[in-house]
């Protein structure tokens, strides 16, 4: 399972339905003369578009990122703000291209005055410091982009204590608190080692709240793993919203192309994953593999109608106090697992294939421990894919069902109560997330419990290792009776 501290693997920003433009921006920068909104591209914009977005669009036009041929423009959409088609767009058609000089990534940081002091820092931290510094600078070339970045999102890292109490008992709560602790610890280190010793480069106060803001922007808006780029913010592209109708992530590419009147460079190229008509919103897929909890943490929204997004992670561990710890660990590692194994279980889907064998391995004891002997080492995983003994199978059922009951008891509402709240509607965006997350987790836990409850009922009907072995030796008849050979 990916670390909860890793940035999104292949994702863009969250929808802007919950964002607020930073009203403090004008106090941080000198007030420039307003642009005259007279270009063809600007006349096409909805007059209700916020002025910072109009100014940002004018900047993109002036810089040549946007032209009359660009088939999309900012628009007011149900999510708040997004990109809409100016004309019919074919599936797979390129809708925007952003030259590398506008990407915000560790390479961009390295070329600035803070590049040297950011050497050796985690990539996201160096970019976070860059964002905070550019937001503060009056002469930043990025100031029009900074003006359209939201003050916050509905990501759970921004929730109050009262709001977090609505996800009591969920794995999302524990993950959120872990992430917040992680960010706070990283801030304390970077403050002591980089910010305070280099006041000439950071002549402005950077608070923990500021650092959380930058972290949240990267968590929700960064696109990563684009060839050799491990973290990229792409102004303009990050106005694109997510939609579950998009079932592929193959829409962003790094290409070479014209980056100016007489220059060529790397371009961030975005293609439409859907066929669009004029006026339709351009959507992309942020990440097919993220659970609703991941979506809530990273982007500040969930897909309540997509059951596959509801998930629960079972964490299993080979205890160091186990008499057969070394043998079990060796077998686990030989099969791509370890001392601790994480299994993501999704609503409506079958159990992960390695879950049951790993459970049987952890539970092996007593007379079943002969399977841990070196003579079985190359074949033991194959044996674990089938029931080992009634005692072993009964134990894994009990352990899992007890864990499910314990987890379910930690929630302060029932599934039925959550569903009534959702049916009633009129929930705030954050309460809607909380209710959806806790209901989804409980449904998955109930599904897991049901699977192992049914397994308990079948214990007498299962075929165990000793029976299979006797059959292999020809010592069991067709009716399952043991054959005794009498001497001649």
Q: Which residues participate in catalysis according to the annotation?
A: 286
b/e per residue 180-210 (b: at least 16 CB within 10 A): beebeebbeebbeebbeebeebbeeebeeeb
What distance in Å separates the CA atoms of residue 141 and residue 130, rounded to the nearest whole number?
A: 12
Nearest alpha carbon to residue 16 among 217, 272, 248, 292: 217
DSSP-derived 3-state class of residue 139: coil
Q: Are 439 and 419 within 8 A, CB to CB? A: yes
Q: Are 246 and 281 within 8 A, CB to CB? A: no
Only one residue has tokens 């809409």, namely 84
Question: CA 144, 147, 151: angle at the middle one, nearest 5?
Answer: 160
Q: How many CB atoms lie within 10 A of CB 140?
A: 15
Q: How many CB atoms lie within 10 A of CB 370?
A: 11
Q: Are 42 and 61 within 8 A, CB to CB? A: yes
| DSSP H/E element including 418 | helix 415-424
For helices 355-363 and 325-334, what crossing angle results, to 10°?
A: 160
Strands 241-242 and 283-284: parallel
* Alpha-carbon distance values, 422 to 161, 418, 429, 438, 477 (Å): 22, 6, 12, 12, 57
């Amino acid at each position: 399972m990916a670390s909860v501290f890793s940035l999104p693997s292949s994702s863009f920003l969250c929808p802007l339905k919950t964002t607020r433009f930073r009203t403090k921006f004008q106090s941080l920068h000198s007030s420039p003369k307003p642009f005259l909104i007279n270009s063809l591209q600007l006349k096409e914009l909805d007059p209700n578009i916020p002025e910072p977005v109009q100014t940002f669009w004018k900047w993109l036009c002036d810089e040549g990122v946007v032209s009359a041929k660009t088939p999309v423009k900012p628009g007011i959409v149900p999510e708040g703000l997004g990109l809409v088609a100016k004309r019919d767009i074919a599936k797979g058609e390129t809708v925007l291209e952003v030259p590398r000089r506008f990407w915000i990534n560790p390479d961009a940081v390295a070329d600035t005055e803070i590049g040297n002091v950011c050497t050796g820092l985690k990539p996201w931290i160096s970019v976070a410091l860059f964002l905070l510094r550019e937001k503060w600078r009056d002469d930043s070339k990025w100031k029009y982009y900074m003006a359209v970045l939201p003050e916050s999102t509905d990501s759970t890292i921004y929730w109050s204590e009262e709001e977090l109490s609505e996800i009591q008992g969920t794995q999302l709560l524990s993950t959120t608190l872990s992430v917040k602790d992680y960010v706070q610890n990283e801030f304390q280190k970077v403050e002591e080692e980089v910010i305070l010793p280099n006041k000439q480069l950071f002549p402005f106060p950077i608070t923990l709240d500021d650092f959380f803001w930058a972290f949240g922007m990267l968590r929700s808006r960064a696109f990563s793993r684009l060839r050799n780029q491990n973290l990229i913010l792409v102004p303009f592209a990050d106005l694109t919203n997510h939609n579950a109708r998009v079932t592929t992530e193959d829409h962003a590419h790094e290409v070479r192309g014209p980056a100016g009147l007489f220059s060529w460079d790397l371009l961030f190229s975005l293609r439409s994953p859907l066929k669009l008509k004029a006026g339709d919103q351009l959507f992309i897929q942020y990440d097919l593999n993220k659970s609703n909890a991941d979506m809530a943490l990273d982007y500040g929204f969930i897909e309540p109608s997509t059951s596959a997004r509801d998930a629960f992670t079972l964490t299993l561990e080979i205890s160091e106090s186990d008499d057969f710890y070394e043998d079990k660990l060796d077998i686990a590692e030989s099969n791509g697992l370890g001392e601790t194994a994480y299994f993501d279980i999704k609503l409506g889907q079958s159990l992960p294939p390695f879950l049951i064998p790993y459970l049987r391995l952890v539970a092996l004891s007593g007379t079943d421990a002969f399977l841990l002997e070196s003579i079985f080492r190359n074949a033991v995983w194959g044996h674990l894919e089938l029931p080992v003994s009634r005692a072993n199978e009964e134990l894994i059922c009990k352990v899992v069902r007890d864990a499910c009951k314990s987890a379910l008891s930690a929630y302060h509402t029932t599934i039925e109560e959550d569903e009534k709240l959702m049916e009633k509607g009129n929930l705030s965006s954050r309460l809607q997330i909380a209710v959806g997350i806790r209901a989804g987790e409980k449904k998955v836990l109930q599904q897991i419990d049901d699977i192992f409850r049914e397994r308990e009922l079948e214990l007498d009907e299962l075929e165990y290792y000793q029976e299979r072995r006797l059959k292999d030796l020809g010592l069991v008849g067709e009716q399952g009776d043991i054959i005794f050979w009498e001497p001649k």
